[in-house]
Chains A and B, each alone.
Chain A
């Protein structure tokens, strides 16, 4: 039952990524050229509603479906890892036109060349794990 809930949430996410065109290389290219409001609108609405949702959860101590309090941890304070990691991610995002959610959605949509992107994203993740202690965080 719980498994089915996770899959259903994923299906909703996948359909939304596909139908919003946020999973399209073209939209990412357009966004980084500031030629349309579309992507900014999607992220903007999601964040504004997200901020409101989290404020309400915190104010009214909303519990999960299973009755456990929702506790949102703060991210570790630092600069280097977020800045440099973010830049490397951005370079890849603009080139491949897909981030870690949409790359899976696109395989489902029948674009099998994304399997190359996924394989190398795993390799990149692996190399990070190997080099982790040598990188500035």
Chain B
């Protein structure tokens, strides 16, 4: 039983729990969607004074900020109490392919230390550009993985399907076309 928890969780367990999270939020009268918090955080920082998009009462979104704080605590619990920290269980094809671009840490670390553990100019730029596009793109598309891929598709929304197709076009272009120039 303990081993079962300490090992990486199977896709069907994880998928079930994500659906449960969405269900519980609907039963609370709210919607599953994490990227809205980025907008709320902008509002808390005072962005509403200059830009209408951010001028709303952030307290109406307090519930989602609490979910976000819970997600931070969940990360702490998952990493410190529910894992034996032996890297990530990715396929051997992926491991080999990553070695070709100089990333060898998947057996020992949850994230590639070559990118997330070294504060070189290139790494900081990479994280900054990546984060920027996630934030800009999520708000432009009106949602992220939780809002469109899970909630939107579950409610059979065509706009969400278009967004998810967009996520994949962007992701595939980044990995297959741009990565060879980056790494």
Q: Do A and B come from one complex?
A: yes
Contact B131 A118 (CB under 8 A): yes
Q: Return chain A residues, CB-CB under 8 Å to B116.
A: 25, 111, 113-114
Q: Return chain A residues, CB-CB under 8 Å to B8.
A: 19-21
8 A Cβ contacts from B66-98 to A? 66-80, 82-83, 88-91, 93-94, 97-98
Contact B37 A23 (CB under 8 A): no
Chain B residues close to A by CB (< 8 Å): 5, 8-9, 11-29, 34-35, 37-39, 41-42, 45, 47, 51, 53-54, 63-64, 66-80, 82-83, 88-91, 93-94, 97-98, 106, 110-112, 115-117, 119, 123-124, 126-142, 144-146, 148-160, 162-176, 178, 182
Bound Cα distance from A117 to B124, whole angstroms: 9
Interface residues on chain A, number (Cβ under 8 Å): 114
Contact B45 A90 (CB under 8 A): no
Known: A77-B159, A82-B159. A96 touches B127 (CB 8 A): yes
Chain A residues close to B by CB (< 8 Å): 2-3, 5-33, 35-51, 53-54, 57, 62, 64-66, 68, 70, 72, 74-79, 81-111, 113-114, 116-130, 132, 135
Contact A86 B170 (CB under 8 A): yes
Closest A residue to B106 using CB positions: A26
Bound Cα distance from A41 to B13, whole angstroms: 10
Bound Cα distance from A32 to B132, whole angstroms: 20
Closest A residue to B167 using CB positions: A90
Bound Cα distance from A112 to B34, whole angstroms: 19
Known: A113-B127, A117-B131. A85 touches B9 (CB 8 A): no
Task: Quote the shortest CB–CB distance from A112 to chain B (angstroms).
Answer: 9
Task: Quote the shortest CB–CB distance from B121 to chain A (angstroms).
Answer: 12
Partner of A15, one of B74, B139, B142, B149: B74
